[in-house]
Amino acid sequence: MSVTPEIHLLKGFCRLKFGQKPSDAEALFGAPEETQSLNDDILNTSSFVMHYWELGFSLFFDANKNNTLNIVEVDNHETIMFGKQIFNLKEPELVELIKANGFKLSDTEKHEWGEKRLSFDDAGLDCYFENGKLTTLSFSASDAPENFQYFPN
């Protein structure tokens, strides 16, 4: 199956929307090459993960939310976001593209081993770079409830 990965920040991945089930992913992408269950006792989270190694992405389904899609990790260099192949962009170009689409850079961290992370919290997006090249993107649905209204005191 040939898929051009396309990121829709805060909405989903390709035609799969955040909140959909593993069966929806399998109907769209076929059977994954590998699945796994992840548990974090400290954060009290549990996920079912579908790895599509050949297609270059992994889908994470939150077990605490009825096994619904909540995180996608992508390392496929054909990935499109905002109409651009993002793995071809240099770091400043990627930052500018994301900013031009209404999201601001909220955090940057450089690890001892050389990996650099750029976070765009309002987009649910983390971008990972090694040696100045984008290696992986991780993005998620917003945790803010829909129709949330803030009433100041």
Nearby residues of 59 by Cβ (< 8 Å), 6 or more positions away: 13, 16, 22, 25, 32, 49, 50, 52, 69, 71, 72
Q: What is the pTM of this model?
A: 0.86
**What are the pLDDT tens digits along the chain (153 aa)?**
467 899 999 999 999 999 999 999 999 999 999 999 888 777 677 889 999 999 999 999 998 888 999 999 999 999 999 999 999 999 999 999 999 999 999 999 998 888 999 999 999 999 999 988 999 999 998 654 443 333 343
Which residues lie across from 59 on neighbouring strands?
A: 50, 72
